[in-house]
Structure 1
């Protein structure tokens, strides 16, 4: 999977915006990340390039958040899908489809607008819990130290 700053796999262009391209008709086609020129969309505007960069940055932030919330670098998409289920705008549910989270992380799908605030809320709750545990650990350490 190509990341921000990776060269285009087709032409080797280093500083080009990479776009998701489905090569291989129909369902199950091979997906690659080519630069906008190789993808056939030609030269893109500075505004579109900024939008694509912002989307990539948001995806990277959500990936980092998913790893923090799940406590795992390996398996974080399924736990994040479960955590986000209760925050769904159409009403709480047990979980979201983990494949959707995978598609957001890969850039294959746009991240819905409601996800950012929900993830921020989850991270704040995690931080609050960790601060409480840290305070409790300091209190125990102080008692043990005498």
Structure 2
């Protein structure tokens, strides 16, 4: 697929460069239409760019003129320390027991060819597992 696409693009590029200029017509035929399109595009592009830059200048002016809180005065003396909690975090392994769900076991014959009536039985839904948990241990 990639080779086909590359081949098609190469063929199209070759055709556009090799195509005779006769297909385009005379050079003078659409000159003034091209000039009008170019001038219109230049005017439109200039107005869009100028408007964009004017908007940016207003934002920058507003950024400088906005109100700011006064700087905080320097506190003399020592800073007051926050009271520290005494203790630390530890990771402990905690066993999470398995969970069960009740399932209907329909009646059936066992290996000795005796009929066993249906009953509700417990089946493990999720097996038990170890989980690491952060626990706060205080020093008090």
TM range (shorter): under 0.3
- The normalised TM-score by structure 2 is 0.24
Structure showing greater Rg: 2
Which is richer in strand?
2
- The normalised TM-score by structure 1 is 0.23
Which is richer in helix?
1
